[in-house]
């Protein structure tokens, strides 16, 4: 059935008439950007008068007093996390109906504290939307001040023969994932996740057929104002603390749904249906744990002994094998890893400082005052990876002593044969593991050696530190995390190069050419070179010479002779000599 523009606009006016000019363009777009799908609900039935109570698809239901007995609940969970950690909060829907109400989708808007949280995305693991084959889900950050995120889902887009296997939302919808700030001064605080209303179209859900729109039940049990301070109608948007009859989660309010005159969002035409008050909402929170709530940051293996060698061995294994090595209590062992007290767990800098404490070279930082964080030496580190054939050399240039470094490579083709420390790092230990196309190398002091061995570092300066031998694999450096000997983090800069394994003269490009062309030479080792251009008579037209380190050199010929005059159209030859290597190729100049 084709729908006219007028029908779509009528649908918009019905459900979004309360949208004010105060809404940003991005927010309006987020609300109204689903016309093609949502317009399917704007059938001829849009103009049909619907009385109260309404009929749902599972049968007739008398909603009674919706303010006192909401039927469908959307709620965030409340979780705990450490500062500087990733955490996901469940978003759940459940229904008081049996069987539960069948919904055609939902449009949710919520606010979070951007000073404490950074939004990472949505995880659909275990989601009933996936289990029931819902066809459309999207989310976006619609505002940064306040920090607002909108989530929209539509069960059936009616664009194929495939349709959802279920319409009942009773379980996990999605997990909203964030990273908590690493500012240790905000420990013991809670970051709230709060449903937010900018107009009557926010935090709504349609029936399966789209003929019914369900909105929040009056949270004040009869008051016409949907949350907030009913005396202050100038605050035109806001947060409802809790609309499900549960203990209030927020002590202050920011206003309601466009003031009391707009709730419960009635249709201006008495012969047209009003939205139905059937939903309630529960806010959630992420509590950032206090230092005293976690295990001590000096006992990574949780054996009750602080700063002992097993902690360092276990921590080093983490960088090679990942969190699977924490078999006792992942959360507790993660929290214990913030040895340098910078608020960020599981870093190479923590490992370095742990080794220094174990060897007696630095004091423990357990219980370090939050208002006075330790000042640890930091630095800049440039890492260069150069591959030549089956061998890869990793060099480092740093302005401070390197205490340890985690080097991550991707590799293709065959396996890695071996990894060893070299040069300025020859006195260090190189732990490594290669699996699934990823090579992880941890350069650190020898923990099993003498006291002097455990105090080793890579002195500031430049030069090679690692050698990787392959069975022909191509190796690419992708990331480096490194720490100074004092336990501070390096700022790193990466460079990766592949060197030729033999001399080669490449075909010029473009060819034919006019007016210029380029010629490249590969050098497996540093060498002097001479490149000469001849005409068909064997006369020298132009010559280039110089010195190159291992790598490639490209020279451009502009079609002129040594005197600067243009040469004629025709065939020319170019020849290279370098360290006993000779080769000649032909090119064509077309004027």
Instruction: Map 416-465 to HEC letters.
Output: EEEEEECHHHCCCEEEEEEECCEEEEEEECCCCCCHHHHCCCECCEEEEE
Confidence at residue 59, expressed as pLDDT on a 0 to 100 scale: 25
Indicate whether 524 pLDDT > 60: yes
Least reliable range by pLDDT among 73-82, 130-139, 218-227, 411-420: 218-227
Confidence at residue 42, expressed as pLDDT on a 0 to 100 scale: 31
Least reliable range by pLDDT among 8-22, 348-362, 495-509: 8-22
What phi, psi does 281 have (nearest 5°)?
-140, 140
Tell me how far the alpha carbon of residue 146 is from its chain's centroid: 21
Enumerate residues 6+ apart whose C-beta is below 8 A from 6: none
- Element housing 7 (H / E): helix 5-16
Query: What gap in Å lies between CA 194 and CA 238, rounded to an integer?
Result: 10
Nearest Cα neighbor of 439 from 406, 466, 411, 400 is 411
Query: What gap in Å lies between CA 37 and CA 459, rounded to an integer?
Result: 63
Confidence at residue 58, expressed as pLDDT on a 0 to 100 scale: 26
- Element housing 533 (H / E): strand 527-535
Distances (CA, A) of 123 to 35, 133, 404, 479: 26, 16, 34, 25
Is 329 in contact with 462 (CB distance < 8 Å)? no
Query: What gap in Å lies between CA 477 and CA 407, rounded to an integer?
Result: 8
Indicate whether 27 pLDDT > 50: no
Of these ranges, 213-222, 255-264, 469-478, 539-548, the one predicted with the greatest mean pLDDT is 539-548
For residues 2-6, give the mean pLDDT. Answer: 32
Query: What gap in Å lies between CA 174 and CA 342, rounded to an integer?
Result: 32
For residues 101-129, give the mean pLDDT. Answer: 92
Question: Which token pair is 366?
Answer: 């357990």
pLDDT confidence band for 127 (50 / 70 / 90): very high
- Element housing 95 (H / E): strand 86-95
Q: Higher confidence at residue 30 or residue 104?
A: 104
User: What's the whole-number average pLDDT of the chain?
Assistant: 76
pLDDT in tens, 462-491: 999 999 998 888 888 999 999 888 888 898
pLDDT confidence band for 576 (50 / 70 / 90): very high
Confidence at residue 139, expressed as pLDDT on a 0 to 100 scale: 94
Of these ranges, 87-96, 127-136, 176-185, the one predicted with the greatest mean pLDDT is 127-136
Question: Which token pair is 394?
Answer: 């990793």
Confidence at residue 455, expressed as pLDDT on a 0 to 100 scale: 65
Query: Which residue is it, tokens 């991550």?
Result: 408
Instruction: Centre a 10 Å sphere on the Cβ of residue 68 and count the other Cβ atoms it contains.
Output: 11
pLDDT-above-70 percentage for the chain: 73
Query: What gap in Å lies between CA 349 and CA 340, rounded to an integer?
Result: 7
pLDDT confidence band for 296 (50 / 70 / 90): low
Query: Which residue is it, tokens 């039940």?
Result: 217
Tell me how far the alpha carbon of residue 106 is from its chain's centroid: 25
**Bridge pairing between strands 147-154 and 105-112:** antiparallel
For residues 75-87, give the mean pLDDT. Answer: 85
Is 166 in contact with 131 (CB distance < 8 Å)? yes
C-alpha dihedral sign at 136, 139, 140, 145: positive
Query: What gap in Å lies between CA 419 and CA 433, rounded to an integer?
Result: 9
Query: What gap in Å lies between CA 132 and CA 128, rounded to an integer?
Result: 6
Confidence at residue 249, expressed as pLDDT on a 0 to 100 scale: 31
For residues 228-246, give the mean pLDDT. Answer: 40
pLDDT confidence band for 292 (50 / 70 / 90): low
Nearest Cα neighbor of 187 from 369, 375, 334 is 369
pLDDT in tens, 143-176: 888 899 999 999 998 888 888 999 888 899 999 9
Nearest Cα neighbor of 543 from 526, 560, 527 is 560
- Element housing 90 (H / E): strand 86-95
Confidence at residue 365, expressed as pLDDT on a 0 to 100 scale: 76
Indicate whether 231 pLDDT > 80: no
Question: Which token pair is 467?
Answer: 């050698």
Query: What gap in Å lies between CA 451 and CA 449, rounded to an integer?
Result: 7
Total residue count of the chain as it appears in this document: 591
Q: Higher confidence at residue 235 or residue 187?
A: 187
Edge-to-edge strands of the sheet including 438-444? 429-435, 438-444, 402-412, 474-484
The three-point CA angle 346-350-356 to 5° equals: 155
Is 500 in contact with 552 (CB distance < 8 Å)? yes
The C-alpha R_g of the chain, in whole angstroms, comes to 34
Q: Higher confidence at residue 175 or residue 502?
A: 175
For residues 251-274, give the mean pLDDT. Answer: 50
Confidence at residue 119, expressed as pLDDT on a 0 to 100 scale: 94
Cis peptide before 346 (omega within 30 of 0): no
Confidence at residue 450, expressed as pLDDT on a 0 to 100 scale: 60
For residues 128-157, give the mean pLDDT. Answer: 92
Confidence at residue 586, expressed as pLDDT on a 0 to 100 scale: 94
Confidence at residue 250, expressed as pLDDT on a 0 to 100 scale: 31
Indicate whether 2 pLDDT > 70: no
End-to-end CA distance of the chain: 64
pLDDT in tens, 168-224: 888 999 999 999 887 766 767 889 898 888 777 888 999 998 888 888 876 554 333
Is 142 in contact with 148 (CB distance < 8 Å)? yes
Confidence at residue 532, expressed as pLDDT on a 0 to 100 scale: 95
Nearest Cα neighbor of 204 from 76, 94, 73, 107 is 107
Question: Which token pair is 371?
Answer: 């208002």
Q: Is 323 helix (H, G, I), strand (E, B) or coil?
A: helix
């Amino acid at each position: 059935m084709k729908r006219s523009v007028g029908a779509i606009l009528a649908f918009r006016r019905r459900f979004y008439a309360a949208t004010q000019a105060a809404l940003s363009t991005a927010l309006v777009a987020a609300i109204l950007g689903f016309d093609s799908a949502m317009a399917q609900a704007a059938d001829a039935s849009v103009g049909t008068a619907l009385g109260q109570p309404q009929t749902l698809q599972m049968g007739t239901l008398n909603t009674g007093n919706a303010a006192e007995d909401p039927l469908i609940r959307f709620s965030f969970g409340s979780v705990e996390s450490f500062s500087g950690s990733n955490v996901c909060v469940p978003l759940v829907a459940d229904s008081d109906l049996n069987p539960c109400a069948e919904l055609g989708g939902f449009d949710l808007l919520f606010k979070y504290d951007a000073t404490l949280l950074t939004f990472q995305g949505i995880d659909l693991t275990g989601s009933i939307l996936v289990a029931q084959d819902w066809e459309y889900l999207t989310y976006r950050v619609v505002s940064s001040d306040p920090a607002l995120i909108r989530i929209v889902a539509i069960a059936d887009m009616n664009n194929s023969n495939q349709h959802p296997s279920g319409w009942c939302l009773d379980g996990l919808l999605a997990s909203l994932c964030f990273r908590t700030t690493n500012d240790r001064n905000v420990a013991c605080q809670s970051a709230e996740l709060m449903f937010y209303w900018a107009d009557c179209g926010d935090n709504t859900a349609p029936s399966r057929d789209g003929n019914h729109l369900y909105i929040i039940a009056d949270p004040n049990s009869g008051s016409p104002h949907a949350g907030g301070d009913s005396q202050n109608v100038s605050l035109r948007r806001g947060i409802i603390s809790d609309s499900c009859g549960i203990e209030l989660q927020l002590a202050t309010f920011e206003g309601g749904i466009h003031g009391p005159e707009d709730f419960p969002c009635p249709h201006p035409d008495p012969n047209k249906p009003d939205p139905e008050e059937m939903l309630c909402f529960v806010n959630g929170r992420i509590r950032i744990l206090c230092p005293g709530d976690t295990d001590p940051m000096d006992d990574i293996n949780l054996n009750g002994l602080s700063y002992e060698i097993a902690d360092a061995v276990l921590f080093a294994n983490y960088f090679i094998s990942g969190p699977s090595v924490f078999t006792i209590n992942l959360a507790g062992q993660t929290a214990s890893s913030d040895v340098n007290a910078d608020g960020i767990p599981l870093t190479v800098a923590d490992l370095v400082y742990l080794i220094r404490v174990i060897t007696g070279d630095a004091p423990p930082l357990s219980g370090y005052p939050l208002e006075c964080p330790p000042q640890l030496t930091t630095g800049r580190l440039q890492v260069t990876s150069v591959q030549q054939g089956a061998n890869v050399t990793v060099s480092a240039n740093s302005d401070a002593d390197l205490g340890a470094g985690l080097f991550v490579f991707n590799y293709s083709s065959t396996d890695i044969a071996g990894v060893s420390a070299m040069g300025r790092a020859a006195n260090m230990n190189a732990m490594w593991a290669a699996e699934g196309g990823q090579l992880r190398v941890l350069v650190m002091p020898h923990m099993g050696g003498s006291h002097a061995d455990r105090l080793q570092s890579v002195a500031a300066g430049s030069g090679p530190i690692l050698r990787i031998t392959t069975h022909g694999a191509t190796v690419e450096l992708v990331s480096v995390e490194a720490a100074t000997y004092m336990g501070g983090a390096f700022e790193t800069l990466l460079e990766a190069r592949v060197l030729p394994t033999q001399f080669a003269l490449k075909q010029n490009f473009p060819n034919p050419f006019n007016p210029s062309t380029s010629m490249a030479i590969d050098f497996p080792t540093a060498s002097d070179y001479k490149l000469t251009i001849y005409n068909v008579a064997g006369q020298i037209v132009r010559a280039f010479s110089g010195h190159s380190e291992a790598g490639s050199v490209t020279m451009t010929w502009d079609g002129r002779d040594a005197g600067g005059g243009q040469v004629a159209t025709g065939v020319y030859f170019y020849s290279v000599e370098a360290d006993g290597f000779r080769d000649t190729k032909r090119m064509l100049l077309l004027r």
